[in-house]
Structure 1
Amino acid sequence: MADYILSDELKEAVLVAEITQRPLLLKGEPGTGKTLLATHVAESKKLPFYRWHIKSTSLAKEGLYFYDAVSRLNDSRFSDEDTKLRVREVKNYIQLGALGEAFSFPKRSVVLIDEIDKADIEFPNDLLLELDKMEFFIPETKEHIIAKERPLVIITSNNEKELPDAFLRRCIFHYIEFPNREIMKEIVHSHFPKIETEFLEKALAMFYSVRRIESLRKKPSTSELLDWIQVLLHSGEKLESNTTIPFAGTLFKSEDDYRVHLN
């Protein structure tokens, strides 16, 4: 992630999380680079990276370990000696999750807990002890997993649900503001080093004018800007002021927003 641009404020937030050894909770509108930060930090510091993408059905335990009882039951139907030996050892059916892998790794690592707000409201509270102590117990094998070095835990949220106060108290918080025009130029240049200055200025003028439309349901994000510029450059499209935005479907993601643009 050499093309990831960190603001001074974001660098400071990462540093504070490292010093305090507390999870870094990132909020901000979609497309501001919350998820990519964890990958960038891991790559720049040459640390192992473990990602846990949260779904609405996710359980806190899944990030620690999973006991595959179904596979064990299925294997127990076979009579060969190797399979019998495998079935006797329950640890053969224990799979570590992202946090479990990071705790088990003997050195420092980076863990991403992505979109924590998608899970049930009690999900964050179910992780309080493990994130505090950086350890957990596997009752099936009587193993106690304790992190030798605390991983840097980065947690993202799109604010779909409010997170519990007890959880927030244990985190370092940072809100990623949408990039201003100067930072956005750096971001675009990192992806398209040979882009012409005049073309970039026109593209950004159109893009930020779209984002200023108050009635939009979803404002286009950085990733959508980069996609749009890629299409424009590939097609050779010339940007002119006071005209319909070309390839508008790259920026607008709903019928209502598309109609607002046409009007």
Structure 2
Amino acid sequence: MQFQGTKDYVATEDLKIAVNAAVTLERPLLVKGEPGTGKTELARQVADALGLRMIEWNVKSTTRAQQGLYEYDAVSRLRDSQLGDERVHDVKNYIKRGKLWEAFDADEKVVLLIDEIDKADIEFPNDLLQELDKMEFHVYETGETIRAKQRPIMIITSNNEKELPDAFLRRCFFHYIQFPDAETMRKIVEVHHPGIKDSLLTTALTQFYEIRDTAGLKKKPSTSEVLDWLKLLLAEDLTAEDLKRDGADALPKLHGALLKNEQDVHLFERLAFMARGRR
């Protein structure tokens, strides 16, 4: 079971090695990188490439680890008991299975994505240590132990918003997705916008990397944003000549696809003003 990328996803050699190492070691793959570098999409493409079903657990700031196992709805059971509902005699009627339970209970191997784990409370990763190690958990209300029928391929993403505990990191195989260089970016663009004119792509990517390298930028544009920008350029039928800028116009065409806050827009406006002052 080897991941070699897909026609819809450009995977670098080191990323392929990381995925296959995690699969071999049967450890979760912890993937970090800038937002928009394809961390979430990686899980989908691994599932597609290996012909496996994917189960997705999107973590929010309010998410608790217990929700990934199961939740017991005591309020509904109390209400049903007051109404004389026969369902109340079987506690299983009030157990809601979580994404981990769904993955553990699958007869076939699945890909389990735990997306943006760093959004949750700092104790969230620690609360999953036993489940990651033993691939089992106990349901106290029913007295049963849920064990994974097939160990899932687990991919965990993080945007590095907060540090993850050492005990959790020890249980993972780690990979940081570097921001694509220009050559890799060309391959990514070709997947999404096949046949784009080389002159337009060269000029657009030159501007894109210049913007990313601008000192003082609050939010650097990501891979997903340059793809959106190129889609707009193609829709407007713009040419490489149309993209050319001078000092009086430092903002790129359709800059709203690349610059996502007023601070960065003002930065480029100041650069244009300074350029005009030097004339």
What is the TM-score of this pair, normalised by structure 2?
Answer: 0.89
Partner secondary structure for residue 107 of structure 1: coil
Alignment check: 8 A CA contact 1:2 1:40 kept: no
What residue number does 1:48 align with? Answer: 53
**Higher relative contact order (CA closer than 8 Å, sequence separation 6+):** 1
For residues 159-238 of structure 1, what are the structure 2 equivalents within 5 Å? 159-237=160-238, 238=242
1:201 is displaced (CA, Å) by 0.8
Matches within 5 A, 1:137-152: 137-152=138-153
1:135 and 2:136 matched: yes
User: How many residues are paired up?
Assistant: 259
Matched-pair contact (CA < 8 Å) for 1:31–1:221: yes
Shift of 1:157: 0.8
For the 8 Å contact 2:225–2:257, the answer to whether it is kept is: yes
Q: Percent identity?
A: 55
Gaps (5+ residues) in structure 2? 1-5, 272-279
Give the alignment partner of residue 72 of structure 2, picking from 62, 67, 83.
Answer: 67
Native 8 Å contact 1:47 1:108 kept in 2: yes
Asked if 1:240 is matched to 2:249, the reply is no
- Aligned equivalent of 2:20, options 15, 21, 24: 15
Say if 1:35 and 1:156, in contact at 8 Å, map to a contact too.
Answer: yes
CA–CA distance in 1 between the matches of 2:268 and 2:257?
Answer: 12
Aligned to 2:263, which of 253, 256, 259?
A: 256
- Taking the aligned partners of 1:193 and 1:72, their CA distance within structure 2 comes to 56
Q: Distance in 2 between matches of 1:68 and 1:43?
A: 35
Q: CA deviation at 1:75?
A: 3.3
Which residues of 2 match residues 84-163 of structure 1 at below 5 A? 84-163=85-164
3-state SS of paired residue (1:167):
helix
Q: CA RMSD in A?
A: 1.4
Amino acid at match of 1:246: K
The aligned amino acid for 1:240 is K
TM-score by length of 1: 0.94
